[in-house]
Structure 1
């Protein structure tokens, strides 16, 4: 509260030809570091070996002793590549920043001294630039410690279920901003909002709205009954069909949308067949992440990778992406299926430990209690409704106690169960089903068109929002509040807070010396991306790692092609999402929907199944990539 928002003012300077230009900084750094950002006709760092024009920047320490002046160079020279003279004023502005380490920097409080940033070019014309600086940059050694402590605290709160994961993320994201403020780097509200991936939140909100209306038709229950009929109620054929269908849908839809569509169906099927929904849901999520890796639109990390300009220039398109990722995904799918079959070789481990009537009563009680909690006491009418809901849940709890004591259970006759289910779960609203189906086909078609660069410029988030608006217009009912009340707002808040936390982590990782980043990325880009994706959301991690991959490919000395790095990053980011509950957006969304249906699985429940599968998947992909590399070298 005592710290001001950090504002960096841009200063306009012009570097004359054949001479140097100095910019005076009257403020003295708090330690031996100075952060400088330049903007103008600059080239990105990975073009440094291709340009003969450059800007040299260094820092001088000046002691004023009237009438004398003592000048000393206290930093190394920062070389910035420039465009040619005829492109100045034509190319868009490029910004670069650099942290100078000030050598032999000591300040006597009784001495009049200043810093000067010296700039010189080898151009034959003047160079206009914008310059901003920070004399109190965050010490990255301390920043890494703070970021690690913040992430560890977040995981402690969530793993041990101290508080709800949404509240934990909001608390930790606020704490991370407080730490920045304490380090004299408090961000503005606009900067914090810019860290949040609005495209992802918009996609989630829109698809939640679509699924909310779609569920009113009864299609999910009807589909569950149909799958029960086709598999004759047998457990493993049912689970196999669910996992295969989820993986197939994730190839062509993003896996967040697939999770929103498949989670209600899976829960209903598990209830029908007396299976515990939690292990089946976790298996479904794992196959969703695996299936989403095969196409550029199947998983958000792939969307980020495939839309990168450098990746597009390297010749990677929709077809080549599927061709290179397909065999690896198939191999991993086979090993994952064998792993799950071995894990649940005793099918009794998949069965629910309680009778079906008891489970349905518990779910109904949770629904009534959640409805009562949502009602405020603002008016007398709301208070009456709230009390009615509480009484209803109390009566159901009494009924539950009676059922638990008598151990009532459903009959095991398949034909009787099927007949009963078909009567209980028909299609409830056929006109709305037609409207919802047409809208969903429209949205999915537009998702496919995003793979065409000339068409897919709107973004997945805006496309899904248009579909949601269309369905809300076709819905044509006055109780639109009921639709929005079924949106997982806590999940959306969790994502927003998580983006803020991950932004801090990303800045710390990118602040490591470039040479260190390259060395790690050369040897371990697959494993680093996979393991890191398991513990931080793979969307911001992919955004950071694709920059590392492009820098690697553009380094003339390393002579590494970009495409193998892209496949390694895609495999690592997508399969790493299976490691923990927070590894992928679809994991969190499915967990939120399942919790809304009365089935809550913890961080440790997911990790116990997902993490070994993630390690196995990365091992398989490592051998696959090595084999491909050997074959290509042999040819």
Structure 2
């Protein structure tokens, strides 16, 4: 028995050469076309009626004047009758190339479907009368993506503004290609789960840092190592790696960089090599958990990856073994790189940064002296200049007094540090410590199906709300002011950009090229080739561009490969390869990771600047080895 179904399209655009049809239902992958006994045939007809159809009127056979088949036949394999409603629904799409026909004012397009299935077949059908020309879309998408990476690499403008411009440009290109998304669609492209997780962890760490626990921990490390160079470096590196496991490594870099610089000044060590070692361990430690590194946040928050069974516990378990082995190997390489501890010592009588600070202070003092007090606005500016001068004087004192501190013995240095960096608020420390412990415990319990429905982002947000209630202070605005809103906006812009690039066809094209490489090898070697491709492509690219936009693109490619029934690849091994490549690849250059850039910026504010090539000298050496 054969069943027919027709779907009438009444509004035909002026330029009608292609028609994109998307079907969802109990379908089979295309390579089952010659194996399945049941199939669905789809084609397009042009029907001319005796009179124009009204908006609510149906097409009647008695009114048909002419019927013309204007497309090829698309054969879609179907499951058997007893599997309908049991197997998961499959999406397929096909672009019909419409043949030339004479358009009539009474003409309509009709999507015709024919099946030999002897049962009800529920289908979801979406059509697009003006689909994007994928050849043009891929070129436009590639130009936008290359432009974004070039702006980030050469720091033409701030990366958040660059991402906003790129996402706006991508939406404009879609509009020019007659595929303009609605505002509701654009909002749906933003992964709220990821933004919630980042916002919540930033807020938690901001409140936690007000207790003074991080400064106190650094002093404790100085005490335990008894002021010896390598034990102190090891303590700083492994402490940074440990904190990066549970805190965002960007936040860890913000907290640990000033502490590391202070301890290096006390120990008469050059801060730059120690900072580079610390930030390398920050990227390594951040790879172990889904919340330790922004690429991991993007990976773990992806709905397809979460549905494959990747939760907080499984992610940490699989990544932990590789991270521990990598930490040991990097430690050995660092010890070989700094075999002579004298290479870490200060050499100049007065560093160049001190002289630059003196000149900058003089400029700010002259600017403040020139400001009058005739108006309230000028008074505010004058006070701001004075505060800036005071802050620079403090940096100058730290930079010029380090030799006096270094001449003290270990006991005097330890006493000074303990007096300067005590626990500021024990009550807040207990509250924030218990809240952070509760949140991290719930993260690990997400392997339980009943708890996994909540999501990492909402779990962290509930913990943040709890801590804000326990904080019990009126200056909550100061906490929110220290949240990195530019980073959150950067992520939101990237989500919009990547979805727009996917609609232009770039993601599918890259996935198709990767699939072609994988299909060129034998069946038993395809998984190994896929893992190596994703690992090294993400690692090499992350060494020279920010790994956040790269991961956003690569996670789409990994899910596309796993969804391809012909390849039959499991998703989880591809996830681990992407996580290792994106996180470890960030150690290659200064721009490879957001935490690298944050550390360099904070260090420069303290008078210790290191360049792209200086970081590359250390980072790329470890990266290659």
Question: 2:310 & 2:398 partners in 1: Cα distance?
Answer: 60
TM-score (norm 2): 0.76
Contact 2:39 2:75 (8 Å CA) reproduced = no
Give the Cα–Cα distance (whole angstroms) in 2 for the partners of residues 441 and 600 of structure 1: 36
Number of the residue aligned with 2:176: 182
CA 171–567 in structure 1, closer or farther in 2 if over 3 Å, else same = closer
Offset of residue 454 of structure 1: 3.2
Q: 1:453 and 1:44, CA in 2 relative to 1: closer, same or farther beyond 3 A?
A: farther
1:42 aligns with 2:26: yes
User: Which residue number in structure 2 is paired with residue 624 of structure 1?
Assistant: none
> Given the alignment of the two structures, is residue 228 of structure 1 paired with residue 222 of structure 2, yes or no?
yes
Q: State the match for 1:58 in structure 2.
A: 43
Residue pairs, 1:282-431, within 5 angstroms: 282-294=276-288, 325-341=319-335, 384-394=379-389, 409-413=403-407, 414-415=409-410, 416-431=412-427
Output the TM-score relative to the length of structure 1: 0.75
Q: CA deviation at 1:322?
A: 6.3
Asked if 1:459 is matched to 2:449, the reply is no
CA distance in 1, matches of 2:304, 2:175: 36
Change (3 A) 1:233 1:182: farther
For residue 160 of structure 2, give the secondary structure of its aligned residue in structure 1: helix
Query: Contact conserved, 1:29 with 1:136, CA < 8 A, in 2?
Result: no
Shift of 1:100: 0.9
2:562 is matched with which residue: 518, 528, 550?
550
* 1:526 partnered with 2:510: no
Structural mapping, 1:150-169, within 5 Å: 150-169=144-163
Q: Aligned match of 1:484 in 468, 480, 484?
A: 480
CA contact (8 A) 1:140 1:511 kept: no
The correspondence for 2:201, drawn from 207, 225, 231, is 207
1:568 to 577, 581, 592: 577
Equivalent of 2:71, from 61, 71, 74? 74
Kindly state the Cα deviation for residue 433 of structure 1 after the two structures are TM-superposed.
1.9
With over 3 angstroms needed to count, the CA separation of the structure-2 counterparts of 1:61 and 1:178, relative to structure 1, is: same
* Partner Cα separation in structure 2 for residue 335 and residue 287 of structure 1: 12
8 A contact 2:511–2:561 mirrored in 1: no
8 Å contact kept, 2:219–2:418 = yes
Contact 1:491 1:589 in 2 (8 A): no
Is the contact between residue 163 and residue 493 of structure 2 (CA under 8 Å) also seen in structure 1?
A: yes
Instruction: Show the counterpart of 2:523.
Output: none
Gaps of 5+ in 1: 1-15, 373-379, 617-635
User: What secondary structure, in the 3-state scheme, does the structure 1 residue paired with 2:444 have?
Assistant: helix
1:19 CA drift (Å): 2.5
**Aligned counterpart, 1:9:** none
Q: Distance in 2 between the 1:74 and 1:354 partners?
A: 82
Using the TM superposition, give the Cα deviation of residue 362 of structure 1 relative to its aligned residue in structure 2, in angstroms.
5.9
2:521 corresponds to? none
Is the partner of 1:19 in helix, strand or coil? strand
CA-CA distance at 1:164 after TM superposition = 2.0
Aligned length: 584
Other-structure match for 2:435? 439
| The one of 495, 507, 510 aligned to 1:510 | 507
TM-superposed CA distance for 1:448, in Å, is: 2.0
TM-aligned CA deviation for residue 444 of structure 1 = 1.9
Unaligned 5+ runs, structure 2: 52-63, 368-374, 519-525
Q: CA deviation at 1:387?
A: 2.7
Change (3 A) 1:324 1:425: closer
The match for 1:472 is: 468
Structure 1: distance between partners of 2:610 and 2:599: 10
Query: Shift in Å at residue 138 of structure 1?
Result: 1.9
Cα pair 2:245 2:288 within 8 Å, conserved: yes
Deviation for aligned residue 1:517: 4.2
The answer as to whether partners of 1:296 and 1:302 remain within 8 angstroms in 2 is yes
Alpha-carbon distance between aligned partners in 1 of 2:81 and 2:597, rounded to the nearest angstrom: 49
Rounded Cα–Cα distance in structure 1 between residues aligned with 2:5 and 2:349: 80
**Of 211, 216, 219, the match for 2:210:** 216
**Which of the numbers 186, 192, 198 marks the counterpart of 1:198?**
192
Deviation at 1:460, TM superposition (A): 1.7
Q: Secondary structure at the match of 2:405?
A: coil
299-308 or 192-201, larger mean C-alpha shift? 299-308
The CA deviation at 1:141 is: 1.9
Do the aligned partners of 1:158 and 1:168 also contact (CA within 8 Å) in 2?
Answer: yes
Counterpart for residue 371 of structure 2: none
Corresponding residue for 2:552?
A: 540
Query: Structure 1's 561 and 61: CA in aligned 2 closer, same or farther, altered over 3 A?
Result: same
Range moving further from structure 2, 415-424 or 588-597: 588-597
Aligned counterparts of 2:619 and 2:104: Cα–Cα separation in 1: 62
**1:592, 1:460 → 2: CA distance?**
30
| Cross-structure match for 1:21 | 6
Alignment check: 8 A CA contact 1:76 1:100 kept: no
**RMSD of aligned Cα (Å):** 4.8
Deviates more, 1:224-233 or 1:283-292: 283-292
Q: Which residue of 2 aligns with 1:4?
A: none
Counterpart CA distance in 2 for 1:427 and 1:299 is 28
Look up the SS of the partner of 2:500 in the other structure: helix
Residues 347 and 107 of structure 1, relative CA distance in 2, 3 Å threshold:
farther
**Helix, strand or coil at the partner of 1:455:** helix
Which of 99, 114, 119 is the equivalent residue of 1:120? 114
- Say which is worse superposed, 288-297 or 473-482, in terms of deviation: 288-297
- Structure 2: how far apart are the matches of 1:71 and 1:442? 67
Distance in 2 of aligned mates of 1:424 and 1:559: 60
- Inter-partner Cα distance in structure 1 for 2:499 and 2:600: 23
* CA distance in 1 between partners of 2:354 and 2:200 (Å): 31
8 Å CA contact 2:249, 2:292 repeated in 1:
yes
Structure 1 residue 389, shift from structure 2 partner = 2.0
Local SS of the residue matching 2:180: coil
1:573-614 deviations in Å (ceiling 9; x for gaps): 443444566766666776787789898877777666555644
User: For the pair shown, which has the larger CA radius of gyration, 1 or 2?
Assistant: 2
The residue that corresponds to 1:448 in the other structure is 444
